A and B are shown apart, each in its own frame.
Chain A
Amino acid sequence: ETGVTQTPRHLVMGMTNKKSLKCEQHLGHNAMYWYKQSAKKPLELMFVYNFKEQTENNSVPSRFSPECPNSSHLFLHLHTLQPEDSALYLCASSQDRRTGELFFGEGSRLTVL
């Protein structure tokens, strides 16, 4: 138990669906991150939020839309995805963007049919 909870753990969706991934942290952290881990590829940093403000968008396609309503919650809204978007999506948090180690959730395994 890392203090970072991701739901759902598994998601299957069609290319025309709209779904969301949720991340919640109970650590009092102020920075939250989305990473994508595809098979045979390194973790890719997607988005960074610091004190609820998006500080980085790592050239992520617009079919991925992040939302950070408060420092404890982070969402990744998904729409019109492609099969190559199938991957493990990992959420992490840290004290803030500059300090503290990353605490990761267990990930949401997404399959796009």
Chain B
Amino acid sequence: DAKTTQPNSMESNEEEPVHLPCNHSTISGTDYIHWYRQLPSQGPEYVIHGLTSNVNNRMASLAIAEDRKSSTLILHRATLRDAAVYYCILRDVRGVGNDMRFGAGTRLTVKP
């Protein structure tokens, strides 16, 4: 079973910021938080990951709560091409068992 929970769907207007939340209350100290997205008719693609500190890359920002039990993926200016299902997953650096499980994700709709 997935160790993360996300809202089923969210909507955003084009050119506006989007904050996609993820809860992972049972996260362990060796779990990295990874985000992927799946565009229609494609396999998932990597977006960003982090451990404790907030992270930025060209695609998005990742804000991690101080207790690490939740995180938020931030798309600074949503475009129509950002419409996708966004997945938050945990990846254990020890390479053991129950990580790498995808949940249902959040389906993001971007309105023009």
Contacts and interface: CB of A to CB of B under 8 A. Distances in A.
B contact face: mostly helix, strand, loop, or mixed: loop
B44 A99 contact: no
Interface residues of A, number: 25
Contact of B101 (A45, A101, A104, A107): A45
Contacts of B105: 42
B43 A105 contact: yes
Contacts of A102: 34, 36, 44, 46, 100
Given A101-B34, A102-B36, A106-B42, A43 B95 contact: no
Nearest to B101: A45
B60 to A, nearest CB: 13
B17 to A, nearest CB: 24
Interface string A62-94: 000000000000000000000000000010100
A98 to B, nearest CB: 4
Contacts of B93: 98-99
Nearest to B2: A42
Interface residues of B, number: 22
Contacts of A101: 34, 46, 49
A62 to B, nearest CB: 21
Contacts of B44: 43, 90, 92, 102, 104
Contacts of A55: 95
A92 B43 contact: yes
Interface in B60-99: 87, 92-95, 97
A77 to B, nearest CB: 21
Interface of A: 2, 4, 33, 35, 42-45, 48, 50, 55-56, 90, 92, 96-99, 101-107
Closest 8 interchain pairs by CB?
A104-B43, A98-B95, A97-B95, A101-B46, A43-B102, A42-B104, A104-B44, A42-B102
